[in-house]
Amino acid sequence: MRFSAATVVAAAFVAPVLAARTWDVNWVNGVPQPQVLNISAGDTVRWPNNDGPDHAIVQTANGARSCNNLAGGFNSGTLTRGQAYNRTFNDVSAINYKDGVGNNCQSGGQGTINVQANGTLPSTTNTPSPSPTHGSAANLIISVEKSIFVVTIGFLGALLL
């Protein structure tokens, strides 16, 4: 079977997109769960408000469990029940955030997102919550991550034939 150069180029662009994940951080009694989440650069974190009271996702100054806003940091604005805030993290760093509504931060509404280089995630107990971007595609993502090298070599081999 022969593959065109366009097929190889398309595969090169599609594979990284399939490898990115979306992680849910849910509010449980005003506290984000999980409070610490390890992700890869390029992943997206989604904070759905299914807890009831209003929440606001606000980036905080360096230092875990800080309630001080980071100047120039992200701020979701107020999220009412049923709304969600999504943010993609591309830079390797530790991102601290809080619930910026009322005294929610002082009551435990803070968390940390550890963004690490692709392929360097430590073993973790964090698992993505089901969301529209998960499901049967999760197995495909894992397969693509494990076989991207083999597929690329296969395409290149077919081009040479």
Per-residue pLDDT of the chain (161 residues; tens, 9 = 90+): 555 555 544 445 444 555 799 999 999 999 999 999 999 999 999 999 998 899 999 999 987 788 999 999 999 999 999 999 999 999 999 999 999 999 999 999 999 999 999 866 554 444 444 444 443 333 333 333 333 433 333 443 444 45
Across 45-72, b (16+ Cβ under 10 Å) vs e yields bbbbbebeebbbbbbbeeeeebbeebee
- What is the phi/psi pair of residue 23, to 5°? -115, 135
Classify residue 28 by its DSSP letter.
E
* CA–CA dist 82, 55 (Å, integer): 11
Give domain limits for the chain.
1-21+133-161, 22-131
pLDDT given for residue 121 in this prediction: 55
Q: Specify the CATH architecture of the domain 22-131.
A: Sandwich (2.60)
pLDDT given for residue 137 in this prediction: 36
Question: How far, CA to CA in Å, does 108 sit from each of 57, 64, 82, 99?
Answer: 13, 12, 21, 9
pLDDT given for residue 128 in this prediction: 44
pLDDT given for residue 63 in this prediction: 77
| DSSP β-ladder status, 22-24 and 43-48 | parallel
Classify residue 34 by its DSSP letter.
S
Q: Collapse the DSSP code of 68 into the 3-class scheme (helix H, G, I; strand E, B; otherwise coil) and give the result.
A: coil
pLDDT given for residue 62 in this prediction: 81
Judge contact between 58 and 74, C-beta under 8 A. Answer: yes
Cα separation of the two ends of the chain: 9
- The model scores a pTM over 0.85: no
pLDDT given for residue 118 in this prediction: 85
Residues contacting residue 53 through CB under 8 Å, at least 6 positions apart: 30, 81, 101, 104
pLDDT given for residue 92 in this prediction: 98
